[in-house]
Structure 1
Amino acid sequence: MRALAYDTERTLSLRWTDADPANPADRSVTRTLEQDGHGTRLFLVHEGFGPDGPARAMAHRIVGRGGQRHVLPARGQVLEQPG
């Protein structure tokens, strides 16, 4: 894994390649924070997790479930907190 971009308190972008020669996958995840009025927006960009091939399809399902099980409920909890 290597860092593609890093900007303190704003951006972190990581890239890695799976070691399986039968089904290699080149993946990256970028997280960016942007101020928006009195709040902050979080942008997540996942690349290389598409449904092409069995390893990518499995990663695609795992990432999707993680968003549904963890990111969305956490977002709701944050939004419910008094500002």
Structure 2
Amino acid sequence: MDEVLLAVEVVAALVLVPAGYALLGRRARRRGIGGSLFAPLEEVWDPTAHRTNVEVSIQAESPAPAPLPGDPLHREPGGQRARE
């Protein structure tokens, strides 16, 4: 009886842990926090993607460049600066 219980526990752990990671990943992607949550796993299994995600997050957090002297103050409807 003890061997059966041990086998059930091992199988349950082998099934529930990956299922939990999958559910957690789905929830993190839906909320937009997946990068920071799975970064350690991604760094181990796919270092190139991890470095790319770090670069993308650094660029996303950097401020927009300030306008240069002489730049027009208004913008066209498409978001481009108007040429005078």
Q: TM-score, normalised by structure 2?
A: 0.30
Higher alpha-carbon Rg = 2
Q: Which has the higher strand share?
A: 1
- Report which structure shows greater RCO (CA 8 Å, sep ≥6): 1
Q: TM-score, normalised by structure 1?
A: 0.30
